[in-house]
Amino acid sequence: FSLGHNSRKRVLLIIAVVAPPLSILLCFICSVVWMRRRRQGKANLNDQAATNRPEKDELVWRLEEKSSEFTLFDFSEILHATHNFSKENLLGQGGFGPVYKGQLPDGMQIAVKRLASHSGQGFTEFKNEVELIAKLQHNNLVKLLGCCIQGEEKLLVYEYLPNKSLDFFIFERNRTAFIDWNNRRAIIEGIAQGLLYLHKHSRLRIIHRDLKASNILLDKDMNPKISDFGLAKIFSSNDIQGSTKRVVGTYGYMSPEYASEGIYSIKSDVFSFGVLLLEILSGKRNSGFYQYGDFLNLLGYSWQLWEGGTWVELLDASIVKEICTSDARRYINIALTCVQESADDRPTMSDVVAMLNSESVILPEPNHPGYFNLRVSKTHEFFVPCSNNDVTITEEPDGR
């Protein structure tokens, strides 16, 4: 009996010694397992949230992680800077929404493009512009300082350029005196340099696809800066051209192959540049509410004058006495070379810059331009024969 009693005492003693640390060990193991499961659950929830996270949040995260030169503004900061988007701060109304002047607490002036929820520029174009232009640096490209995304609000924050856009001067009779031939020549050369950078010298090969007078902004010294990259396309170094079923842009500036077939290339921008050059020289819009002789657009009118040897009549009255005849002929020749109907016949921007900078460069004789006999109505419709594309067109306003 005593032996059995001693054995039980020994067992109880062992249990008393072993049980506490064993309990602690079991509790520790359970805690570790529980914590791992909890962390795994959180990870799964985070993964699921990431999968379902809105595209705009992903854009914000990407910009926060990769860009040190780009600012993500708070909406309250923009409200304060623009005085709650007051009418007094309104700079203009574009196709994608109004643009407001603002001032940050440090005194820096900004221009804020507030994209309208009903505008043609959706989040895809917004993201395209933010991610693309933030990587581009050139004196003739507008500088994008940052953006703001909150709820349905999509805001782009640019450097403020006090002289508004090019169309503000060249299409208004009472303002053409403020932009003489020297100004216009510098603007033409600056735009050409900006496009050359996009096509050849930037880290990315960019086709703008919406080059027009209202997208050329002017700084305090009247230096031009190309803006609005919402429709721009990135090309690899091996690509020559691309195509799309959704044609977007502004009629009067789109190349024939792009408008009718959705084919775009650097030559598409060259065509737009040629149109813009003719507009700067003449002070007239290519399309809209004007009639030129037997033609209903500026390209046809210019071609008629060129063939008839009366191209001087094309020039804006405010610069006729300032520009020498040889310069006038050379610039009109370059413009008509850029707007030829076939993309293969158009020069590259490298060629254009060489033509502009050197009088010794022999200029090719142009063929007839694209659209030279196209009727452009006053309506918002733009008809291109044989086009099967879903065409989205922006009509330029008749002055601003």
Question: Could you give the domains of the chain?
Answer: 71-159 (3.30.200.20), 164-357 (1.10.510.10)
Work out the pLDDT band at 119, boundaries 50, 70, 90. Answer: low
- pLDDT value of residue 180: 92
User: Checking DSSP bridges between strand 246-250 and strand 390-394, what pairing results, if any?
Assistant: parallel
- Is the pLDDT at 395 greater than 90, yes or no? no
Per-residue pLDDT, 52:
36
pLDDT at 390: 40
Range with the poorest average pLDDT among 60-64, 199-203, 285-289, 293-297: 60-64
Of the two residues 365 and 129, the one the predictor is more confident about is: 365
pLDDT digits (tens, 9 = 90+) for 92-110: 876 567 899 999 999 999 9
pTM, 2 dp: 0.75
pLDDT band at 111 (very low <50, low <70, confident <90, very high): very high
180 is catalytic: no
Label residue 320 by pLDDT band (50, 70, 90). Answer: very high
How would residue 400 be classed by pLDDT, with cut points 50, 70 and 90?
very low
Dist CA 280 CA 328 (whole Å): 12
Of residues 47, 180, 210, 269, which has the active-site annotation? 210
The C-alpha atoms of residue 112 and residue 89 are separated, in whole angstroms, by 10
Q: Residue 343: is its pLDDT beyond 60?
A: yes
Identify which has the larger pLDDT, 270 or 287: 270
Residue 2 has pLDDT above 60, yes or no: no
The pLDDT of residue 240 is 60
DSSP assignment string, 257-326: HHHHH-EEEHHHHHHHHHHHHHHHHHS--SSSS--BTTBSSHHHHHHHHHHHT-GGGGS-TTTTTTS-HH
- Determine which of 21-30, 141-150, 235-244 has the lowest per-residue pLDDT on average: 235-244
Q: Provide CB contacts within 8 A for 303, sequence distance 6+.
A: 336, 368, 369, 372
Residue 382 has pLDDT above 50, yes or no: no
- pLDDT by residue (tens digit) across 3-61? 566 676 676 677 777 667 777 777 778 777 666 655 554 444 344 334 434 555 555 55
Residue 139 has pLDDT above 90, yes or no: yes
The mean pLDDT value for 124-149 works out to: 81
Where b means 16+ CB within 10 Å and e means fewer, 4-40 reads eeeeeeeeeeeeeeeeeeeeeeeeeeeeeeeeeeeee
Write down the pLDDT at residue 176: 77
Q: What percent of the chain has pLDDT over 90?
A: 42
